[in-house]
């Protein structure tokens, strides 16, 4: 927040939305793989997961 709030936030969110929609389109049955521990990066800045394992069905 505040004067240094990321001016690219809206663009980044839009890019992410498009990327996820395309991935859902192109990877049928995209879902979480078993065994994800959802461990997070120990960072104050980027609050992402260390890894996220996904699986999908082979295109017919
Ligand atoms: C997932 C993508 C992105 C993340 C996580 C991100 C994150 C951040 C963070 C944490 C800051 C510092 C804010 C602060 O000091 O309070 C920042 C600043 C900034 N970001 Fe982003 N950003 C992203 C994408 C972008 C994009 C796409 C652009 C440009 C097109 C951009 C341009 C900037 C600029 C110019 C600043 C400096 C703002 C200032 O100091 O006044 N960022 N960003």
How far away, in angstroms, is 59 Cα from ligand 1 center? 37
Domain range list for the chain: 2-56
pLDDT below 70 — which residues of the chain? 60
Within 6 A (CB) of ligand 1 lie 4-8, 11-12, 45-46
46: which 2 tokens?
A: 């980027």
Note the pLDDT of residue 46.
80
Q: Are 17 and 35 in contact (CB under 8 A)?
A: no
3-class SS of residue 55? strand
Note the pLDDT of residue 6.
93
Note the pLDDT of residue 60.
63
Any idea what DSSP says for residue 42? Answer: S
Query: Global pTM?
Result: 0.76
Establish how many alpha carbons lie within 13 A of residue 47's alpha carbon, considering only the half-sphere containing its beta carbon: 1
Note the pLDDT of residue 21.
95
Q: Are 55 and 36 in contact (CB under 8 A)?
A: no
């Amino acid at each position: 927040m505040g004067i240094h709030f990321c001016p690219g936030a809206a663009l980044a969110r839009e890019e992410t939305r498009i990327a996820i929609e395309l991935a859902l389109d192109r990877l049928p049955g995209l879902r979480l793989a078993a065994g994800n521990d959802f461990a997070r990066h120990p960072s104050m800045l980027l609050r992402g997961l260390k890894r996220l394992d996904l699986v999908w069905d082979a295109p017919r």
